[in-house]
Amino acid sequence: MSTEEYINQLAGCLHGMNDEERSSALVYYREYLAEAGDNAAAAMEALGSPQSVAERILAEAEDAKEPYKPKQSVWVTVLLAIANFPLWITLLSLWLSLLITMAAILLAFAAATIIAPIQGIVDLTSSMYGHGLWSIGSGILSAGLALLLWKPFLKAAVVSTKYSFMILKKMIGIPAKEVRT
């Protein structure tokens, strides 16, 4: 079989494709066989029959198409949000409690960093040396803990925010691509 006969049979088998994809595929195989030159017969044999090549092309074109996904209306989203209210309000409350707790812990350490050494100095001047040194040490410890914990707390806040809103979007039914956080 000649190269042109092979391409013509392939074209006949690709009648179900749109013209642009069909011509692109035919140009590709025409150039492929032209590059084979004297070995075109071996190249055609390696490719297989025009029907099998057409089946592969059609299967690849079908796989490349994205399935139709209807867009969700605003009303459906609102109804889902109302129906899932007990779930998402609980999740939001939990998320907000987590953020407030982490902020309170950091603020407590920051306050202790300032207040405890001041109390320690006052105690040292009033001859309560043990209590004064304890307070100064507690202030230094609080400063260290605040410095150690601020970054993990910030990361936990960011991650919990990301996942909480991702779960909320799934609960309410909002497609992930349409909503930005």
- Inform me whether the pLDDT recorded for 150 exceeds 50: yes
Summarised one tens digit per residue, pLDDT across range 82-125 is 887 888 788 889 889 999 999 999 999 999 999 999 999 999 99
Q: To 5 degrees, how large is the angle CA 59–CA 65–CA 69?
A: 135
Q: Give residue 15's pLDDT band: very low, low, confident or very high (50, 70, 90).
A: confident
**C-alpha distances in angstroms, 181 versus 32, 45, 102, 165, 171?**
48, 54, 21, 8, 16
Q: Is residue 36 within 8 Å of 43, Cβ to Cβ?
A: yes
Helix, strand, coil share (%) of the chain residues, nearest 5: 85, 0, 15
Residue 6 CB partners (closer than 8 Å, separation 6+): 29, 33, 44, 50
More confident residue, 101 or 164: 101
Considering the entire predicted model, what is its pTM? 0.47
pLDDT at residue 179 greater than cutoff 60:
no
pLDDT top residue among 81 and 10: 10
Structure tokens at 139: 């202030």
Q: Token pair of 33, please?
A: 């066989």
Higher pLDDT, 25 or 179: 25
Which pLDDT does position 181 carry in this prediction? 46
pLDDT, one tens digit per residue, over 30-80 is 888 888 888 888 888 888 888 888 888 888 877 666 665 666 677 777 777
Between CA 61 and CA 48 the distance in angstroms is 19
**Which of 2-11, 53-62, 152-161 is predicted least confidently?**
53-62
Dihedral, CA atoms, 92, 98, 103, 104, nearest 10 degrees?
110
- Given a cut of 60, whether residue 180 has pLDDT beyond it is no
Contact 35, 41 (CB under 8 A): no
